[in-house]
């Protein structure tokens, strides 16, 4: 933490240089482009920010928030339960694999950087948000800041994929990132307020796109 309160360890976690393989995944966006659902800057913005609000903010983010809270009070059982809940909620094989592989990559990094925890051992975690929560807690990043950071990585990764797939110019991608600030803030607040029985993915297009991507003939991305 700097004198201004900026969580520098969070900047490391949200950096595109974090070696977890995030650049390999489009999370269904590649199929959405092929299907014509996403074809320009406006439709890319609607897809990226829409799936953030309808899917990530309704499923990943509230479970991530619960995992952060559990780790803050050393509630390892609740942490593991939320990780399992999130893994069981994945609607396609590709998203399951994406989540698991990115979690494994971050856990390997944490172990190599000296974190001693049974959770970083191979096969212990099934979701990337769980590994992100573990890292954020280890580096003493506040839960609310960590939640915003995790949601930022989703938008940034999707915008980078859109540059390659639509394709979009770099300035167009930056406009999407600028527009995402209010959506991320609103989505994070919603995620913190959801009750258990309100958690669940409601983005049917994302579910279908990620499933159909498995048999897409020509692909740049693994999901």
Return the number of other C-beta atoms located less than 10 Å from residue 172's C-beta: 18
pLDDT at 222: 61
pLDDT at 2: 47
pTM, two decimal places: 0.93
Q: Which two tokens stand for residue 97?
A: 């694999």
**Whether residue 194 has a cis bond before it, omega within 30° of 0:** no
The domain ranges of the chain are 28-215
3-state secondary structure of 36: coil
- In eight-state DSSP terms, residue 23 is G
Q: Which fold has domain 28-215?
A: Urease accessory protein UreF (1.10.4190)
3-state secondary structure of 112: helix
With residue 43 as reference, give the H or E element that holds it: helix 41-51
pLDDT at 148: 97
Residue 79 to residues 12, 18, 134, 143, 213: CA-CA distances in angstroms? 23, 23, 9, 14, 31
pLDDT at 213: 73
pLDDT tens for the chain, 223 residues: list them. 444 456 888 998 999 889 888 888 788 898 889 989 999 999 999 999 999 998 999 999 999 999 999 999 887 899 999 999 999 998 888 888 889 999 999 999 999 998 889 999 988 999 999 999 999 999 999 999 999 999 999 999 999 999 999 999 999 999 999 999 999 999 999 999 999 999 998 777 887 888 777 776 676 776 5
The answer to whether 49 touches 55, Cβ cutoff 8 Å, is no
Residue the block writes with tokens 């650049």: 23
């Amino acid at each position: 933490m700097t004198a201004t309160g900026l969580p520098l360890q969070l900047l490391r976690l949200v950096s595109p240089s974090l070696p977890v393989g995030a650049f390999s995944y489009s999370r269904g966006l590649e199929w959405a482009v092929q299907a014509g659902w996403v074809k320009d800057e406006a439709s890319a913005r609607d897809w990226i920010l829409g799936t953030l609000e309808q899917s990530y903010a309704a499923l990943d983010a509230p479970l991530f928030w619960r995992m952060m809270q559990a780790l803050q009070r050393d509630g390892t059982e609740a942490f593991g339960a939320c990780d399992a809940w999130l893994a069981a909620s994945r609607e396609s094989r590709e998203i399951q694999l994406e989540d698991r592989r990115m979690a494994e990559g971050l856990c390997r990094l944490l172990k190599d950087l000296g974190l001693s925890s049974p959770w970083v051992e191979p096969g212990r975690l099934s979701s990337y948000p769980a590994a992100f929560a573990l890292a954020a807690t280890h580096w003493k990043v506040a839960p609310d800041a960590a939640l915003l950071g995790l949601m930022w990585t989703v938008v940034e990764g999707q915008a980078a994929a859109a540059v390659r797939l639509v394709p979009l110019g770099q300035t167009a991608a930056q406009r999407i990132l600028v527009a995402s600030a209010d959506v991320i803030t609103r989505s994070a607040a919603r995620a913190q307020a959801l009750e258990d029985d309100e958690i669940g993915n409601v983005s049917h297009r994302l579910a279908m796109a990620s499933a159909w991507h498995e048999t897409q003939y020509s692909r740049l991305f693994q999901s």
